[in-house]
Amino acid sequence: MTKKAKKKPANHGKPITKAVVSEVKRLAKANTPTRVIGIKIQRTEASVRNIAGKEGISLKPTNQSPYNRKKAKKK
């Protein structure tokens, strides 16, 4: 049995441009999942995380409450 190698993205090894960084910023701000951002910029999910880390871009969703908490209603 042989292991299949994963196909490398089209932009593998190419430098990261300002346009790519601005696209990552825009998509992250719109709460786009990291994997989807990778598909759109033709990079791996790890590459997206790397770009975000270097540029200080938060990939955490902004519209979700932590631990699914809801405010209790007062009686």
pLDDT in tens, 4-21: 667 777 777 888 999 999
Pairwise pLDDT comparison (12 vs 3), residue with the higher score: 12
For residue 8, tell me if it sits in a domain: no
| Chain centre distance of CA 42 | 12
Q: According to the model, what pLDDT value does residue 63 have? A: 63
Range(s) of the domain holding residue 42 = 31-56
Average pLDDT over residues 44-69: 82
Q: pTM (2 decimals)?
A: 0.70
Instruction: Say if residues 31 and 66 touch (Cβ distance below 8 Å).
Output: no
For residue 52, tell me if it sits in a domain: yes
CA-angle at 40, arms to 37 and 42, nearest 5°: 100
Q: According to the model, what pLDDT value does residue 62 have? A: 72
Query: Which of 8-21 are b and which e, b meaning 16 or more Cβ less than 10 Å from the residue's Cβ?
Result: eeeeeeeebeeebb
For residue 46, tell me if it sits in a domain: yes
Q: According to the model, what pLDDT value does residue 12 have? A: 76
